[in-house]
Amino acid sequence: MPELTGTGTPQTPQSAPAARGARIVGFLCDWAVASDGLVRDDGTMRDLPGVTLIKIPCSGFTRPAWLEFALRNGAEGVFVCGCPLGDCFNRYGNNLIGDRIEQLRRRLERQRINPERIGAIFYRRDAQEEFVSAVRAFAEKVAGLPGPVLPPARPPAAPRGAAPAKPAEAPAPEQEGT
């Protein structure tokens, strides 16, 4: 286990490419896990260089569209971290984001994006170790998911006027159950 407060502890050389892990964006509530000592200056986590944390005022602030935005722009996984359920600093922001993520998962499933790539975790201010190990588990799970993040792009729909011009062109085969 790497030290969380790694003052001078040599970074265990876990083979540089493997150490980077999956590229993950995490939204971290200001009142949940304290990020002191967890993140570098550029927002990536000290122990998990592939994970970038974005601080937000409450987990309920996260717009589900931003999670989808991250997946569509190169992230392999996204998660939101809030206070423990029932103990949100803002009363029930974490319950709300939990519900919204459930909705988003179903929506992404219909769009053939693996809903496992979205996560919601809840850790209180002093639970740094548990938070890091949960994020590590999430990163490993995401790295093990099959296939690319996004389904293969469908060909753009032909403009209406141009439809009869190229009748012979076969439409791209529907992606078979990625």
How many positions of this chain bind another protein (CB under 8 A)? Answer: 41
Pick out residues in 126-155 that bind another protein (CB under 8 A). Answer: 126-127
Contact 113, 104 (CB under 8 A): no
Question: Distance between the two ends of the chain, CA-based, in angstroms?
Answer: 36
User: Is there binding between residue 58 and another protein (CB under 8 A)?
Assistant: yes
List the beta bridge partners of residue 80: 27, 120
User: Is there binding between residue 56 and another protein (CB under 8 A)?
Assistant: yes
Contact 107, 71 (CB under 8 A): no
Out of 70, 104, 132, 134, the residue judged to bind another protein by CB under 8 A: 70
User: Is there binding between residue 57 and another protein (CB under 8 A)?
Assistant: yes
Pick out residues in 78-107 that bind another protein (CB under 8 A). Answer: 84-87, 89-93, 96-97, 100
Contact 79, 24 (CB under 8 A): yes
Helix (H) / strand (E) containing 28: strand 24-29
Q: Cβ–Cβ contacts within 10 Å for residue 87, how many?
A: 14
List the beta bridge partners of residue 87: none
User: Is there binding between residue 125 and another protein (CB under 8 A)?
Assistant: yes
Out of 23, 79, 114, 135, the residue judged to bind another protein by CB under 8 A: 23
User: Is there binding between residue 64 and another protein (CB under 8 A)?
Assistant: yes
Nearest to 53 by CA among 139, 126, 113, 115: 139
Shortest distance (Å) from residue 168 CB to another protein = 38
Task: Point out which residues bind another protein (CB under 8 A).
Answer: 23, 25, 30, 42-44, 52, 54-58, 60-66, 69-70, 73-75, 84-87, 89-93, 96-97, 100, 122, 124-127
